[in-house]
Amino acid sequence: MHGLAVDAGRYRTGTIEVFYGDPQPLRTASAKGLPAAVQDLLRYAEEDDFPPLLTSCVLHFGIVYLRPFSAGNGRLARLWQRRMLMHHWPVFSYLPVEAFILRAEPAYNAALEFADRRGGCGGFITYLLERIDEALTELLSSSDP
């Protein structure tokens, strides 16, 4: 991250405008209470009783929604989701889910924006589950899965 962000590796301290590919900001994200909010999100992900596949999607959205850092929040969200899935199912070590997400990045941003506007991540979870299904389908259809 050296040279990419002045405050790399530290929580942001100021407000930022939230964009999802649209030139107009959707909202302003405050930095107030960010470390505690991230801690709460991670605790939720660790202790949640829902299936890990769903919890990983909520974790992904939560990180993007909070935007704890000035840069790299989407990458971090995808990394944490992958890490959580790998913990439960080793196949996710080899499954390029992020590549399927980034193939249609405008749809990813639209799903995030829709969830952000609604204040709920149900549609975003559906979007992510579809990308995971695509990645699994491609893996299973290969000549040597």
pLDDT in tens, 33-43: 999 999 999 99
Q: Which CATH number does the domain 16-141 belong to among 1.10.3720.10, 2.40.50.140, 1.10.3290.10, 3.20.20.370?
A: 1.10.3290.10
Q: Is the pLDDT of residue 27 over 70?
A: yes
Sequence-separated (6 or more) residues with CB below 8 Å from residue 35: 11, 68
Per-domain residue ranges of the chain:
16-141
Encoding tokens for residue 114? 């829709």
For the whole model, what pTM was predicted? 0.90
Residue 51 pLDDT > 80 = yes
Q: Three-class SS string for 32-48? A: CCHHHHHHHHHHHHHHC
CA 142/CA 122 separation, integer angstroms: 31
Q: How far apart are CA 55 and CA 7, in angstroms?
A: 29
Distances from the Cα of 4 to the Cαs of 9, 12, 42, in angstroms? 11, 14, 25
- Is the model's pLDDT at 45 over the cut of 60? yes
pLDDT, tens digit, 9 for 90 and up, residues 86-115: 999 999 998 889 899 989 889 999 999 999
